[in-house]
Amino acid sequence: QSVLTQPPSVSGAPGQRITISCTGSSSNLGAGYDVHWYQQLPGTAPKLLIYANNNRPSGVPDRLSGSKSGTSASLAITGLQAEDEADYYCQSYDTSLSGSVFGGGTKLTVL
């Protein structure tokens, strides 16, 4: 059971828009701690997609965006492409655990 809750899977057709939710609690997202998002392709290390709720590192396309409100956050991907098929994780800090926490991950399937 992960501290941050994500749907196990989402899917969409090429060109569509999808969102992945991340639900926390008053000790992490609700306490004001930032959320970060990662993409993990099979057999590779995770890659940072969004940091501090809605900031994209250099090289991440602007069809990816993040938002956060209260105890929830979401990652949106527009113009879905086959190469977006991967696992996605949200991550934040939890004051009760005094450390970082991850969501359980969401597998994105491009139909």
Partner 1 sequence: EVQLVESGGGLVQPGGSLRLSCAASGFSFSTYWMHWVRQTPGKGLVWVSRINSDGSSTYYADSVKGRFTISRDNAKNTLYLRMNSLRAEDTAIYYCVREGSGWYSFDYWGQGTLVTVSS
82: exposed, middle or buried (Cβ count in 10 Å: 0-12, 13-18, 19+): exposed
Task: Answer positive or negative: Cα dihedral of 2, 64, 44, 100.
Answer: negative
Positions 64 through 93 that interact with partner 1 (CB under 8 A): 89, 91-93
Each residue 17-56 as x (binds partner 1 by CB under 8 A) or -, in order, gives: ----------------xx-x-x-----xxxxx--xx--x-
20 in Cβ contact with 75 (< 8 Å): yes
Q: Which amino acid is at 22?
A: C
**Least CB distance to partner 1 at residue 32 (A):** 11
For partner 1, the closer CB: 24 or 103: 103
Residues that bind partner 1 (CB under 8 A): 2, 33-34, 36, 38, 44-48, 51-52, 55, 57, 89, 91-93, 97-105
